[in-house]
A and B are shown apart, each in its own frame.
Chain A
Amino acid sequence: MGDPYGMPIAHGVAAGMGGIRTAGDLVARMQLAQKMRISEAKAFVADKLNIGVKELSDVTVMREIREDLDLGVITSVPGCAKGIEAKARIADLLGIRINSVERLKAKMGRA
């Protein structure tokens, strides 16, 4: 509850990781997939990306990594992985199951 400026935006600026601007979605994936606490989830993702934990929330570092690995970026760039395309690459990178990606594989006969 609370208006968007007063709640999600305010919390995001004060303490949030920054979603797909940075590595917020990747860390969230590990919390959901393996019940990892925040330190463990960050360390896991940082290791996969071969960067330091602090760099996970650095938009200049993560923008380049997301472009290089084609994990989806926040601005609209033609040719960059979008939606389910990016999630398929994220599942491979993190070595986790993403349910919608599994469904796509099943539809393609590759499950």
Chain B
Amino acid sequence: MTSYPTRMGDGHLVEMTTDELRRDFVAGAEDAADRAGVPALTQGEYERLLDLFTNPARVVGVESGNEVVLTHDIGTLRLDGDQGNSGVGIPMGRLQGVQVHERAFACDTMELGHVDYSWKPVKPIIAQEQQALEMVLLSTIIPIFYGAMPNLGLYYAPDGPFGNPSDLLPAGKIKEALEAQEHAVEHATRDMVYICSKLAEVGGDAVNFDTTGAAGDADFMATLNAIEQLKASHPELGIQVGMAGEFVLGIHGGFRYDGVRLAGLYPHQQVKLVEKAGADIFGPVVNTNTSKSMAWNLSRAVTFVKACVEAAEIPIHVNMGMGVGGSPVFETPPIDSVSRASVAMVEIARVDGL
């Protein structure tokens, strides 16, 4: 039987037959369906995936007319940053980095961000960031986001003022661990509202809460609170929320928004709370399993995201960076896999953007 080149979740090349591909498409989709309580893919959608995986072209693309808008994370760090952010280490200013994205990469939107890419370190240098944003806004045309991570980990010891739940929970200090997260939510919300208000005051188009939920349900709680407050005070400021994982880790377990417990929510449930808070664009995340094939991973990711798109009323820009959204976990992702993931997300999951 003919076999086709494809990849594992870590990016390395393997060959699979059509039977093996079909088996992994079904297994991946059923895994997502079982976890999230959403429908698996249809037979026609498995056949569309098979078309993509057996297409001999190195790079595939959507049909003309199906193109979508691209938003970004990590700001210009992918140009001037180091390997830790997949950066290619080109010494250049952030204004130049944004202009390269607008005028050389033909990006639909772009993002400015601080080198740490967390909200908390931006607070003491907010005037610097306001001025950097002002200069970018004067000299560029595309919508400019300011992006950073809620990263509640920075509010816990040794980096922050509150006890670290990762130390307190194993020590059996449950009450202290819960209180630490509740304090962190309060402080992170206040910091994010302050910073984003300052960015709005100088004319910023939008902000991007990236990798939301990385520190669990407290992280998501602070972000939802911040969005609600910002939309009340600065309704003109666009807000995008990108998640950290396919479900919200319940490190606290008791946080609720609009009466809904945050722990354990999947993308089609997360988006309803993000909408309720007032955000304009939502970016679901589905993590890649390096031990499984990309056929399994992409089918699984499309299943989660398709359900999210169907549940949503706001635009869905699925996170498609390295290691998420049906892309391999490899710092320089193979473009055969990346382009197949792009097409599947646009033409099967029907996302509004990437």
Contact = CB atoms under 8 A, between A and B. Distances in A.
Contacts of B237: 99
Given A19-B108, A83-B139, A99-B237, A14 B353 contact: no
Contacts of A56: 67
Contact of B314 (A6, A35, A82): A35
B86 A10 contact: no
Given A10-B335, A14-B62, A37-B315, A100 B205 contact: yes
Interface string B111-135: 0000000000000000000000000
A16 B70 contact: yes
B228 interface: no
Contacts of B137: 83-84, 100
Interface string B84-95: 011010000000
B38 interface: no
B66 A97 contact: no
B85 A16 contact: no
Contacts of B62: 14-15
Interface string B334-346: 1100110011011
Interface residues of B, number: 69
B147 interface: no
A98 B54 CA distance: 45
A83 B107 contact: no
A1 to B, nearest CB: 4
Interface in A53-79: 53-54, 56-57, 71-72, 74
Contacts of A82: 139, 141
B116 to A, nearest CB: 15
Which of A54, A84, A100: most chain B Cβ within 10 A? A100
Contacts of A8: 70, 72, 78, 101, 105, 107
Nearest to A31: B315
A10 B142 contact: no
Interface in A3-50: 3-22, 24-25, 27-29, 31-33, 35-38, 41
Given A1-B323, A10-B333, A86 B141 contact: yes
Contacts of A102: 203, 236
For the complex, would chain B's binding face be called helix, strand, loop or mixed by DSSP majority? loop
B141 A72 contact: yes
B207 to A, nearest CB: 11
Contacts, number: 211
Interface residues of A, number: 54
B204 A99 contact: yes
A69 to B, nearest CB: 13
Contacts of B143: 25, 28-29, 32
Contact of A2 (B238, B327, B339): B327
Given A19-B107, A74-B103, A74-B106, A10 B339 contact: yes
Contact of B331 (A3, A32, A97): A3
Contacts of B64: 54, 57
A6 B70 contact: no
Nearest to B200: A99
B338 A6 contact: yes
Nearest to A72: B141
Contacts of B61: 13-15
Nearest to B278: A35
B206 interface: yes
Nearest to B65: A54
Which 10 residue pairs of A and B lie closest in terms of their CB atoms, listed nearest first? A24-B108, A2-B322, A100-B203, A14-B342, A14-B339, A38-B352, A103-B203, A54-B65, A6-B333, A32-B238
9 contacts: A1-B86, A8-B78, A16-B108, A24-B108, A27-B108, A38-B315, A38-B353, A57-B67, A100-B203
Interface of A: 1-22, 24-25, 27-29, 31-33, 35-38, 41, 53-54, 56-57, 71-72, 74, 82-84, 86-87, 90, 97-100, 102-103
